[in-house]
Chains A and B, each alone.
Chain A
Amino acid sequence: MSVDVTVKLNNTKHDLHGNNDDEAALTVRTLSLTKVFPANKISSLLKLNSHGEVKVAVDNLNMKVPRGAVYGYLGPNGAGKTTTIRMLVGLLKPTRGTASICGHTIHDDLRGAQQHMGYMPDIISKFPPMKAVEFLTLFGELSGLNNGTARRRALDLLSWGNLDDATTLNTKVNKWSAGMQRKLLLIQAMLHNPDVLLLDEPTANLDPVARRELIELLKRVTNGDAADAGDRGWRTTVFLSSHDLQEVEEVATHLGFLNRGVLVAEDTKEKMRKAIGAATTGAPTFRITGENLMEVAKQVEDKLQAKLVNLSNTELTVATKHGDKLLSYLAEVAQSNPEVKVTNMTQKEDSLEEIFLKLARLTPQKEWR
């Protein structure tokens, strides 16, 4: 059963890809990007061959991130999200395949690609004991800005991120709270006004207050509040890896689902919700509210070859390929049976959490080879 569903899901994915073939409008593009790790870490350290055991962290990834999109890169822990990003930014070398950032391929023009990207890593084990302005100025200079510009930009962005009070500015960043350090990492990624921001789990392990603050900041980034388009003429593209669905729900325009290294679905958020619902049930799902709906359930099931997903007197959820006929049919039934009342009918969109769980469940097992 799961195999059938997966096939449908893959077909859906291809259809979704087909809608967006304008390569020039892509900021991030991967082609068969693959990363294979040796199974044995000690062997890896010593560069010895283990017994041929490997772990495929990212498998044949073909991903398209349109220019100006906020791309939520979702997947459970260990799916390969961080590995993907680390390959994109040049911290890991892909085993196979390649990727391009703004047209610069990472295998032959990594530095060119790096000029267009800002990277916020998931975790920094140790911050250097520097003040924020020093820290940001240094990284600004390393991104090609001159000292004065880097410093000015650092101060502007610290002010933008509400990190510009005297106490904060005079305290070394290694003494800052985790939430403030995350903000700082976001700011350092934005320093040189990159075309694409790669954010790796920006809110992971933060307390609710710090998390909310960072999400609000991210929303401002994605609204183009700080990331001025400048000469580009388009908004900064944001590539956001996360398993925090609320965060992605709030900011993302596009979604990509990665599970066990395989990109199982990719499209805009809205299309994805509908498509995943249809792919898992075989047909679009509709939610009908009203009174005495149990009376009509059987008829809908027979007449429209519908599958009952959920049933109560006041709510009926059905999956049917004949959605266009459903409303008129319900109207007919309600007319002939006065006890039945239909107050509302909507096509059901899965929440991100539902999509997430479905996709995680449906992806075939593929771990050790």
Chain B
Amino acid sequence: MRREAVHKIRKGKHGAGGTGDLPPVGGSFPSSHPRLPGFLALLRFNLRSLLKPWSLFLLAVSALSSYYAVYVSFHPYSAGGVPSSWADAIRGLASLKRALGLHPLLIMDSYHILPWVIGGFTAFMFAGGTALVYVGACNLVAEDSGCLPRSLLHSRPVSRTGFLLAGFVVRFAAFAAHGFVVPFLIAYAQNVADIGATAQSVITNYMTMDQWYATAWNGLFWQYLAIFVAYLFALASLALLLSAATGRGLIGILAGVLLSYVTGYAAWQITGDYVTSGTTLGGVPSLPAFMVLIPAFYLVAAIYSTPGFAWRLQAPLFGFPTGMGFLTLYGAALVALSVLAYRRRGGAE
């Protein structure tokens, strides 16, 4: 008889029958549970968890580092210190690449390798360093306050998707703000501050104000647009990452990470050529790194640090000490590189 009841219930699951012989008992709750207050509470919690002294400090450091990295990337001092020749070189590389169907890295000659190495490395430091700084910061956040006890959380009538979404939205917004908006604003503010001052501004050392705005609106705009397109491509892999992190196991997670890189690279293939051929922006060598690494790193970092994802990813990959170790090393390297680059650039001048 009990078997029949279970069978009935199982049938009910697929649309036929009902809940078998389990009658309702009633209760003190309304039938429809309001979800919005819970979601907002989670958003508030996630925001508050980011606003801790440690994480704020780390995010501030990363923002500053990002700024210097952007600054260095966009104002190359190599190859004779002439931005246009660098852009020409890249254009040449891009067309050669198209002609031969080869990866640009495989056809670099001695003339081109320096800007590639410096620009690429700087961009890598920007992307990787800041992402790792974020990861370090989020390790702190996630381990100390970003993670709610799973057993308490998921035993409540809270949507699991809502929980993940709340964490992800806040973190991704924070990363995007610190990775793009903040450096851009710092640069802009610094530029504004330089108006009327001597020509010692870090930016106007190389460009006039008109040039700067032209660069910003022609070069930066398109490049940023391309980056955000890359984001969209990278986000396409989010679905896989989500499923990976919510129950598909380690293989799924690795596949998701791999896919985010692949989609990032594909985004560069699609949008990068337009940028490289359509602008004369110095620092374009860093574009591949921007296109591939930043979205991928940020995406992974955001997912990685989102509570719920973090439980699965954090412990085996980055424990607190490891995260802090990476953070310190990359932070220090990033600052050192920036300072060095700044001095050399000044020297070249």
Contacts and interface: CB of A to CB of B under 8 A. Distances in A.
A144 B28 contact: no
B30 to A, nearest CB: 8
B336 interface: no
23 contacts: A23-B21, A24-B25, A31-B2, A31-B9, A31-B20, A45-B250, A67-B25, A91-B150, A98-B22, A103-B25, A112-B31, A115-B29, A116-B28, A119-B151, A119-B152, A128-B145, A141-B41, A142-B153, A185-B152, A195-B25, A195-B27, A230-B28, A232-B27
Interface stretch (B154-162, B205-213, B290-298): B154-162
Interface of B: 2-3, 5-6, 9, 12-13, 19-29, 31, 33-34, 37-38, 40-42, 45, 49, 143-145, 147-159, 248-252
Contact of A108 (B13, B29, B41, B157): B13
Nearest to A230: B28
Nearest to B150: A91
A127 B24 CA distance: 35
A139 interface: yes
Nearest to A105: B19
Contacts of A105: 9, 19, 22
Interface in A80-96: 86, 89-91, 96
A121 B23 contact: no
A31 B22 contact: yes
A47 B248 contact: yes
Given A23-B21, A46-B251, A144-B37, A193 B152 contact: no
B9 A144 contact: no
A142 B3 CA distance: 36
Given A32-B3, A102-B27, A107 B9 contact: yes
- Chain A interface category by residue count: 35 or more
Contact of A147 (B37, B45, B153, B250): B37
Contacts of A188: 152
A55 to B, nearest CB: 19
B28 A195 contact: yes
A317 interface: no
- The winner among A96, A138, A185 for most chain B CB atoms within 10 A is A138
5 closest A-B pairs by beta carbon, nearest first, are A103-B24, A141-B41, A89-B155, A121-B151, A119-B155
Interface string A124-159: 111111100000001101111111000000000000
A29 interface: yes
B156 A143 contact: yes
Given A45-B250, A108-B13, A115-B29, A128 B148 contact: yes
Contacts of B2: 31-32, 62
B22 A46 contact: no
A32 B6 contact: yes
B108 to A, nearest CB: 40
Contact of A23 (B22, B29, B49, B147): B22
A98 B20 CA distance: 10
Interface in A57-111: 62, 67, 86, 89-91, 96-98, 100, 102-105, 107-108, 111
A142 B41 CA distance: 7
